[in-house]
Structure formats: C-alpha cells, structure tokens
A and B are shown apart, each in its own frame.
Chain A
Amino acid sequence: MNSYSGALAWLLSAANWSGPDGIPSRLGQHLGYSGLTLIIAIVIAIPVGLYVGHTGRGRSFVVPLTGALRALPTLGIVILLALWLGIGLTPPLIALVILAIPPLLAGAYAGLESVDPETVDAARSIGFTSWDVLWRVEMPLALPLIVGGIRSACLQVVATWTVAAYLPLGGLGRFLYDGLPIRDYAEMLGGSILVIVLALVLDGVFALAQRAATPRGVIAGRISDIRTTTQSPDRKDRPWLAPEA
C-alpha cells in the first residue's frame, strides 16, 4: 500500500494544486483539448455518417475506412503530424480528430441502419419527405447509438490526449511523463488515477445521456435490446406478413 499512500500524499499536497503545472490547470488543458477535438470530429463525422446511413450510399467506402483507421497506432500518428507540421496545438489536434472519426461515423450509420425499414416505409407512406424521415423518425430512433458513438470517441480522445502529452503541450498525461525519468512513482500514479477517474466520470455522464436519448416508446418495448442485440429479426419470420395460405 506504500505506493498508494505516496500517490495520495501527492494528490493532496497543496503545492500540486496551484500554478501553471498544477492539477487544476492540467485538468483544464486536458478537458479543453479533448472537448475541442470532440466538437470538430462530431461536426465532420456525424453528417457523413447520417448521409451514409440514410441513403446507403458510400457504405462500401466508409465501412472499410473506419476499420482501417482503427489499425493506425495513435502515438505514431500524433508524432508523425507533430514532426510534419511543427510545434503547437494544431498537429496533435488534427491527429486526434482523425482518430475520433471512426467511432462517431460507425455510431451514426449503424444507428440509422438499426431503424426498422418498416417504420421508415410507414413514415413515407403517410407522406413524410426524405428530410422528415431523417429528422423525425430515423434520428430519434438512432440517437442512443449516435450518443454511444460519441461516448466511445470521447473516451478515446481523453486516453489519446494522455499519450499525446509526450509532446510538450500539457494535459494530465504530463504528470506521467514528468514522473517517469526521475522515477517519481507517486506523481505517475497520482496522475494516472486522475486520468482514470476523469475517464470513468465522462463514461458515466455519457451512459446517462444515452439513457436520456432513448425515446420513451422504445424503452417501453425493448430497452435491453438497444445495447445487447446485434441482429434484427428476419422480416419473413413475421406471420402476419406471410401471404394467406
């Protein structure tokens, strides 16, 4: 338990709670960078994901792309862009926006794809335009999965900004990198605990947002299905759709 008392002492020490490299300022940097990354990535990825999910166009291009982006090592991309574009916030910001796009894109198009085609047909048949179908039918039903995509992206962004603190920009990851060469395990552990708590709190907030985003009609029917089923039932299995025998 020695390492924990060290980390606790570090966390509670007044000296670490003030100044430009204190905990509040590092936390502020971390949240600021992460929030900025997430907003830019959402503005780019969600409209594309909605377009792909709504029209079905570009699916064969977007799906493999999201898989391929997943294979890229985050640290390598951050460092490559930092070498290429020089110092400052922009290079890692671009790298992190690129890395945050796959989960957002996947959430948006998988969300729209999860909407029962019969519901869409029903909306069209009572005169909804394509735009109405998207905004008033598909979007509300897809919202839990879209928020789920934002949740994944947020966690990834918070984790990657920790790693990206390797560049001299600040953020909570700085405590890990500053403690490493001087073998100050208390600082490293304290910093790690801060990042982990931050990630878990954000994950909890998004879990609640996901719940709040679920339409009430869906909760009444099948709340457990939203996160657990990966397949919709076969349409031809529905007896009332079968032709009269």
Chain B
Amino acid sequence: MNWLADNWQQVLDYGLAHVLLSIPPIVLGFVISLPLGWLANRYRLSRGVLLTAGGILYAVPSLPLFVLLPSLLGTKILSPINVEVALTLYALALMLRTTADALGSVSGDVKLSATAIGYGVWRRFAGVELPLAGPVLLAGLRVVSVSTVSLVTVGSVIGVNSLGFFFLDGYQRSFYTEVWVGIIGTVLIALVFDGLLVAAGRLLLPWTRASGERARRVSTRSRAVLR
C-alpha cells in the first residue's frame, strides 16, 4: 500500500495512457464494422469473404501481430500505432460477425414495411435496422471493450506502455504489489468502460430495459460462436 501511495502519480499516468490506448480501437472497430456488417448481409459472396477474413484475422496472436505490423505499415517497432492498428483489427474481427448477425436478425417484414412507407436505403438503415440491431450490437461491443482493455497490456512488452508496464517491472523486481496494481487497474478500467456502455445502451435503447435478459442470452450465445 505504501508503494501505491508513493507511486500514485506514475500509476495515474500509465492508467491514463491505458485508457487513451483502449478507446480508438474500440470506437474504430465498431464504426468500421457497421458498413462491413451491412455488406456481409447484402450478398452471399461478400458474407463468405468478409466473415472468413474476420475469422482468420482473429486467429492471429497479438504479440506476433504487433511485431509484424511495422514491416507492413513502415512504422517504427516501438511506435504505439502498431498496437492501435492491431487492436483495431481485432475489434473489427470480433465485431464484424456480431454486426452481421445483428443486422441480419432484423425481421424482413419490418424492413419491407419501412420501404413501403417511403424510407430510402440509408434512412431505413439508420432509422430502422440500426436501432433494432442495437441490443445485439451493444452485447458485442461489451465483449470487444473488455478484450481490448485487457490486450493493451501486451503492448508493454514492445515498449508501448500502459498498466501492463507494472507486470514487467514487478516481475523484474519480484514485487507482487506492483503486479496486483496492474491487474486490478486493468480490471477497473474494463469495468468502467463496461458500465459506460451499459449506461449508453439504456440512454439510446430505452425499450430494451424490459427485455434485457433476451439480449444477454443472445450475447452469451454469439460469444460462444464468435470466431
């Protein structure tokens, strides 16, 4: 506990870095998954190609991808961009299948009704399909958020520091407290992100409060199927 009091500033700095490294991949992965998820439902061919590519991408282990990206992007090996791009790709790979499933589960009758009363393709997507897919999208986003916050720590190995720094430093100095601080800090950030997502869901999808149990059941199933 003394260590925490003495090094409070450093813990805060790395905690803040951790938060800042986590946000772009979650947001970008979600945003990019929307058009791609739509495309995956549009044509049989694009569905196969996109979902297979997502599955293969997700199978690539994180640390080797951090090392591989500099040669593809022309970045320096210690640059945080490698970690950000890799985590965005994972978020996208995870989110793509959920988004495709969520948009695909919108009833065809509802879509036809929207078209019948004069909704164009874009307005129907934004005003009808997206809100109806909302609960499943939120469930997927929560999984992406938790796994991104946890994966950020691996970046410390190649010098992109976050709370993961305390794992490596704690190991070098055989100092438990430091490792515990890193683990608890990471879990806290994941919990806060999850809470914010749930709150955003309540605000944006007020009709789901009554049927929350259903969305949860769907989420546990799609998690098992997520690959």
Contact = CB atoms under 8 A, between A and B. Distances in A.
A113 B190 CA distance: 28
B174 interface: yes
A4 B104 CA distance: 41
A76 B179 contact: yes
Contacts of A199: 59-61
Name, among B59, B70, B223, the residue most crowded by chain A CB atoms within 10 Å (CB to CB): B59
A111 B62 CA distance: 27
A163 B224 contact: no
B157 interface: yes
Nearest to B104: A228
B101 A148 contact: no
Interface residues of A, number: 56
Contacts of A110: 220-221, 223-225
27 contacts: A3-B70, A63-B220, A70-B143, A71-B191, A72-B186, A73-B164, A75-B154, A76-B167, A76-B183, A106-B220, A110-B223, A148-B224, A149-B224, A151-B227, A162-B61, A163-B63, A163-B157, A166-B168, A185-B77, A189-B67, A192-B63, A192-B65, A193-B68, A195-B63, A199-B59, A227-B225, A231-B105
Contact of A75 (B58, B64, B167): B167
Interface in B18-65: 55-56, 58-65
A117 B180 CA distance: 45
Contact of B105 (A3, A188, A230): A230
Given A84-B176, A185-B77, A71 B224 contact: no
A106 B223 contact: yes
Interface residues of B, number: 57
B127 to A, nearest CB: 22
A175 B55 CA distance: 26
Q: Which 7 A-B pairs have the closest CB atoms?
A: A159-B61, A192-B64, A110-B224, A203-B59, A76-B183, A3-B71, A192-B67
Interface string B191-227: 1000000000000000000000000101011111111
Given A106-B224, A192-B67, A228-B104, A73 B77 contact: no
A145 interface: yes
Interface in A152-193: 152, 155, 158-159, 162-163, 166, 173, 176-177, 180, 185, 188-189, 191-193
